[in-house]
Amino acid sequence: MPPRRITFSRNVFLPLTTVCRNRCAYCGFRRPVGPGCLMHPGEVAAVLDEGVRTGCTEALFTFGERPEEVPGFAAELEAVGEKSFLDYCRRLCLDAIACGLLPHTNAGVLDEPELASLAEVNASMGLMLETTARVKAHEGSPGKDPEARIATIEAAGRLRIPFTTGLLLGIGETAADRLESLETIAGLHRRYGHIQEVILQNFAPQEGTGMAGAPTIPAAEYCATVRLAREVLPREVAVQVPPNLADATTLVACGADDLGGVSPCSIDHINPDHPWPAVDALRQSLGPDVELVERLCIHPRYVERGWYPTTLAPLVRRLSERLREQQL
């Protein structure tokens, strides 16, 4: 019997700004406006160069949602010659493409024109649904309104953007909420066909946050949620777990089939206390019955369908061919 294939993407992590309009009780990423709250082009260039040097194929752009709504942030943008943060993100995505890295942007809640603009310079994009429930952890966070997040994911489907979404487990939702969330995502995919993977991310408490003392999801409950996701989601949609936050070997045995982005050169800026495992160590821990296979941030079926902008066509083809040659 051939080994089971588990996929991952080799990426470099770029936290463009820690300024965010939301105030989630579990978040240790958000910071006030001030020195260091915005990555400048030279800092981005250095990280991109390191990503190329270490064999990455993906530039993961992550940042706080709608930072321009936070007083004082406009001056930070003016310092880098921009008035719009999304325009700044587009500019840096073009820099990533020029370096030979495929951009994947997690921008928070966006409307359809904003998504369309970023889609011109991204191979894929993402937005965590987190939960369809209204939970206390999201109080003071307008961008965590479930309807707003579902609307963004749906707009991405209309635009044929290869998309990542997911659930954050252990933030006050119930088992019934998880089922409803998974069914919502499955329904969106059946309508538009654009969901590449669904992340099942366990909440990890961080010092200095409102949920610093809260427990994370028990291992058995986590495994049960992975099994549930594999039952509810269409087969072509990958069930992803983060190997720096959880025991990937156990969760793969429960049905997970993707490990998401694993960086050889940058930390997980959302969960900085949890370092990425080395790819070789992951491969060894998964055992001989599992084949760990590198992929691009845009999954092969979307490459075959041509769901990427013409701006990226030469790079998508080149990197796809490079991975094929490596895996022969």
Biggest alpha carbon–alpha carbon distance for the chain:
60
Residues contacting 157, CB < 8 A, separation 6+ = 163, 188, 189, 191, 192, 193, 194
What tens-digit pLDDT sequence spans the chain (328 residues)? 788 999 999 999 999 999 999 999 999 999 999 999 999 999 999 999 999 999 999 999 999 999 999 999 999 999 999 999 999 999 999 999 999 999 999 999 999 999 999 999 999 999 999 999 999 999 999 999 999 999 999 999 999 999 999 999 999 999 999 999 999 999 999 999 999 999 999 999 999 999 999 999 999 999 999 999 999 999 999 999 999 999 999 999 999 999 999 999 999 999 999 999 999 999 999 999 999 999 999 999 999 999 999 999 999 999 999 999 988 7
pLDDT digits (tens, 9 = 90+) for 145-155: 999 999 999 99
Residue ranges making up the domain that contains 322 = 4-327
Q: How far apart are CA 164 and CA 321, in angstroms?
A: 23
Total structural domains within the chain: 1
Terminal alpha carbon distance of the chain: 19
What is the pTM assigned to this prediction? 0.96
The two three-digit tokens of residue 53, written as one number: 């040097």
Q: What residue spans of the chain are helical by DSSP H?
A: 41-53, 73-79, 85-99, 112-119, 146-158, 175-192, 219-232, 248-253, 279-286, 300-305, 313-327
pLDDT digits (tens, 9 = 90+) for 286-321: 999 999 999 999 999 999 999 999 999 999 999 999
Amino acid identity, position 53:
R
Kindly report the CATH number assigned to the domain that includes residue 181: 3.20.20.70
